[in-house]
Amino acid sequence: MQGGLQYMDMGFDRVKSDLKFLDEIHPEIGRVNDLAQGTQKDVIFRTRYQYVNVQYLLIKNIKIKTKNTDLEGLKFSFTFGASASVLLEHEVHAKLVGFTAYGQKDFHIKKTGYDAAPFNFNAIVGARFDYPLYPKTNLYVHPNLVLPFLNAGYANERHHLYGIGLEVGLSFSLQKNRKE
């Protein structure tokens, strides 16, 4: 089993395409005032949710038999678990493509209208590869899938996030060596 703290950044992009003169960009930014007809005018809205997670994973080891001495000691395991997430920050950035508004191309939206949920719970599944570096220290690679149980917000427009991740790190054993 494994437990710990984790920082997680989840989000998505939405594109508002082919804006015309006087189309609303966003209520906080205003309308398109560019009369130019030659370029397509788009807005990319990048919505991000930053969380701190407390996670708990169960690890099921699978034996690997290899004749390659370089891979001796490599461990493979499946991971299953859960985490509780607390929202640190929620933000929306708008990037204008093909035009500017008030001489700017980038905007930080303060009033998102999304009413982000302050917490969430997640199921986590994945695989893990551990390679021993020292007697109590392993290098690990852990691809995983994070599936939240709740929506990311309470607005009319629901955001149900999921994450595909790759953790790379060092793990240290706290167990004393057994005498054999």
Residue 180 in domain: no
| 25: CB partners within 8 A, 6+ apart | 16, 19, 31, 32, 43, 94, 96, 101
Taking residues 152-163, report their average pLDDT: 85
Out of 1-10, 61-70, 88-97, 169-178, give the one with best mean pLDDT: 88-97
- The answer to whether 129 touches 75, Cβ cutoff 8 Å, is yes
Taking residues 152-176, report their average pLDDT: 86
Q: What is the pLDDT of residue 70?
A: 66
Residue 88 in domain: yes
Q: What is the pLDDT of residue 40?
A: 92
pLDDT of 63 strictly over 90: no
Q: What is the pLDDT of residue 68?
A: 67
pLDDT-based confidence at 180, cuts 50/70/90? very low
Residue 163 in domain: yes
Residue 177 in domain: no
Taking residues 35-59, report their average pLDDT: 91
Which pair of structure tokens corresponds to residue 13? 């992009």
To which residue do tokens 């906080």 refer?
28
Taking residues 156-170, report their average pLDDT: 88
Where in the sequence is the domain holding 56, given as residue range(s)? 2-172
- The answer to whether 56 touches 83, Cβ cutoff 8 Å, is yes
pLDDT digits (tens, 9 = 90+) for 117-155: 999 999 999 999 999 999 889 999 999 999 999 999 887
Residue 178 in domain: no
**What three-state secondary structure class fits 70?**
helix
H or E stretch including 143? strand 137-148
State the Cα–Cα distance between residues 153 and 175, nearest whole angstrom.
41
Residue 147 in domain: yes
Percentage, residues of the chain above pLDDT 90: 59
Query: What letters, b where the CB count within 10 A reaches 16 and e where it falls short, cover 27-41?
Result: eebeebebeeeeeeb
Q: What is the pLDDT of residue 173?
A: 83
pLDDT digits (tens, 9 = 90+) for 68-121: 666 677 889 999 999 999 999 999 999 999 999 999 999 999 877 778 899 999
Domain total for the chain?
Answer: 1
